[in-house]
Structure 1
Amino acid sequence: MTALAVASRRAAHLILDSPAILDDPFAVPLLGTAFHADPVRHADPRARAFRAFIVARSRYAEDNLAFAVAAGATQYVVLGAGLDTFACRNPFPNLAVFEVDFPATQEWKRGMLRSAAIPEPANLTFVPLDFEHRTLKDGLAEGGFHANLPTFFSWLGVVPYLTLPAFRSTLDLIAAMPVGSGITFDYALSDEELSPTLQRARKSLAARVAAAGEPFRLFFRSEQMENELRSAGFQRTEQLDSIEINQRYFSNRSDGLALPEEGLGKLATAWVE
């Protein structure tokens, strides 16, 4: 359900917002005729803010991927890929893409690709992975991933649903990759960094995702996240809050699309140097 909601907001962005932060010509076709960008529903301030965050985090990840490729990275791993379409838009002919997700989710996505007549790219490898039975390292190895090559990872919309050990084990794996490797992800801020209004907003959101069977589990303070990244072994890090995201991606827009100055989470990137 969360993967579908995210994909719907990426598609709505292309129809309702101009200019597009994330140019994704596959977003609407992938969802098929069932998708409708209701301008009234999507005009709600909360809907606009969520849509802005969704497209900004994807754009941020892909911007960092471009930096990594320019520096020599030849592999891109999309963790919890959902309905991500980067592999269909991949502008880098020598970049191998690995999408990691639960087997049932991947089968659902592949069925949607077939229904939309979108061919699976030749340089895309699906890595079906049930984390209760296999490690990420083993799953990637079975998919033909080369652990000795610089690799960039994206991990969007996943961290809040993890346990702390699962989060740390993934960071440890990536931090042990060759120089030039890195990761972009988003995370949820702990209550200590949220205003009472945002705490209430998060409580409402948490109730909705829990009812859908995907409860929030993991929250961080900004300083705590920095410590997690440094402890894992990353040498260079960056964290963006809502104000910084707005400055980077939503400045001087005539449609007013932007994030509220106070947000429920942050974007983070860490590099192996």
Structure 2
Amino acid sequence: MERILSSLAHTESILRLGLPSRSALLVATLRAAHQLLDHPPLFADPLALPILGPELEAQLRAQLPRYAHGPARQLRGATAVRSRLAEEELAAAVACGVRQYVVLGAGLDTYAYRCHGMPLRVFEVDHPATQRWKRDQLRHAGIAAPPSLTFVPLDFERDTLDAALAAAGCRLDLPVFLSWLGVTLYLSDDAVFETLRVVAGLPAGSAIVFDYGVVPELLDLFDRMGMAYFAARFEAAGEPWKSRFAPAVLQSELRALGFGGVSDYAADALRTHYLGGRGDGWHLGGAMRLVVARTGAPPL
């Protein structure tokens, strides 16, 4: 994994250079590796390989052993688990009548192209440079964007989410389901809470799934060392980690923003629910957690 990340390293911010997010590329590669290495896949994505394009897919297949062991296996498992949970929560929201799905920091996410038969409008929100790269990848792979999809360019540190969504045609007076995976680490605390403030103000029935990093002082030695390892390498790649949270404090902040229901999933709960009985040898560390936050009154 060190060789994978170091090959992406730059001394300046990747996005300021107008290039796609290196973290988005890594996540897409891990998702594709999951399709090749894990049987059955925890998160099946038939477009994960095609969207990489022939050159990147060939590189992945040639280097596949790098993704089979050590830190790469841990990251691969975490990527699959969070995607699975997010799309399960989305399916539940659709069953309850939600008809708008916002993918924050979409990267090379493929939901809109795999599931365009669903009764949903999908809004992919991402940095303009990453969106240009994705549209090139889609074009080269021959993957058509469905009419139900809208691209929404946004810089989370500078732009306002509600204004961008409204301008793109998202009905903010109706419930919305949002996923926000692999993004909060790279944003300032202020940017994270500004986005969550917007989501908390959406109508009852709305919800967001997001992941976050835990502050180092609450981690055991193994997880603390692992987080330091990855943080240093992402910083060398031009994408430093900017925010991490204490779970109890974050949960309190979410309720103060107005969320009626907050479920914060630790690694043990995710491991039991998703990985029990699998022989993959995946280890989900305690450094990352997943949250489902819902608007409206809390359940009785």
In the superposition, the TM-score normalised over structure 1's length comes to 0.95
**Corresponding residue of 1:177:** 202
Provide Cα deviations, 1:203-258, integer angstroms capped at 9, x if missing partner: 121111111111111111110111121111111111111111111111111x3243
Q: Tell me if 1:187 matches 2:208.
A: no
Distance 1:233 1:88 in 2: 33
Distance of 1:71 and 1:230 partners within structure 2: 23
Q: Which residue of 1 is the match for residue 295 of structure 2?
A: 272
* Cα distance change, pair 22–157 in 1 and its aligned pair in 2 (3 A): same
1:220 alignment partner in structure 2 = 245
Within-5 A mapping of 1:90-129: 90=115, 93-129=118-154
User: Residue 4 of structure 1: CA displacement?
Assistant: 0.7
Do the aligned partners of 1:52 and 1:257 also contact (CA within 8 Å) in 2?
Answer: no
| Counterpart for residue 29 of structure 1 | 50
SS in 1 for 2:178: strand
What is the aligned residue count? 271
1:11 and 2:35 equivalent? no
Correspondence list, 1:195-214, <5 A: 195-214=220-239
Check whether the contact 2:38–2:280 (CA below 8 A) recurs between aligned residues. Answer: no
Offset, 1:182: 0.3
- 1:165 to partner: Cα distance: 1.4
SS in 2 for 1:27: coil
Query: 1:132–1:17: structure 2 CA closer, same or farther, 3 Å change rule?
Result: closer
- Equivalent residue for 1:256, pick from 265, 268, 280: 280
Structure 2's unaligned 5+ residue stretches are 1-21
> 3-state DSSP class of the match of 1:173?
helix
Residues in 2 aligned to 1:90 and 1:212: alpha-carbon distance in whole angstroms = 33
Instruction: Confirm or deny: 8 A CA contact 1:192 1:221 kept in the other structure.
Output: no
> Per-residue deviation at 1:40?
2.0
Q: Give the C-alpha shift of residue 45 in structure 1.
A: 2.4
CA contact 1:150–1:180 (8 Å) conserved in 2: yes
SS at match of 1:226: helix
* Secondary structure class of the residue paired with 2:76: helix
| 1:151 counterpart = 2:172 | no
2:157–2:187 CA contact under 8 A, matched in 1: no
Is contact 1:17–1:257 with CA below 8 Å preserved after alignment? no
How far is the alpha carbon of 1:200 from its aligned partner? 2.0
Deviation at 1:93, TM superposition (A): 2.9
Counterpart code for 1:147: L
Q: Quick check: 2:157–2:191 contact (8 Å CA) kept in 1? A: no
Give the secondary structure class of the aligned counterpart of 1:269.
strand
> Which residue type is aligned with residue 45 of structure 1?
G
User: Aligned residues: percent identity?
Assistant: 44
Distance 1:257 1:168 in 2: 35
Which consecutive aligned stretches of 4+ in structure 1 deviate over 4 angstroms post-superposition?
none
Cα deviation digits, residues 151-200 of structure 1 (max 9, x gap): 00000001111111111111111111111100000000001211123222
For normalisation by structure 2, the TM-score amounts to 0.87
Q: What RMSD over aligned residues (CA atoms) do the two structures have, in Å?
A: 1.4
> What CA deviation, in whole Å up to 9, does each residue of 1:67-109 have, x standing for no partner?
1111111100000101110111126532000000111110100
Structure-to-structure mapping, 1:66-105, within 5 angstroms: 66-90=91-115, 93-105=118-130
Look up the equivalent residue of 2:148 and give its one-letter code.
N
Pairwise mapping of residues 49-68 of structure 1 onto structure 2 (< 5 A)? Answer: 49-68=74-93
Q: How far, CA to CA, are the matches of 1:258 and 1:95 in structure 2?
A: 33
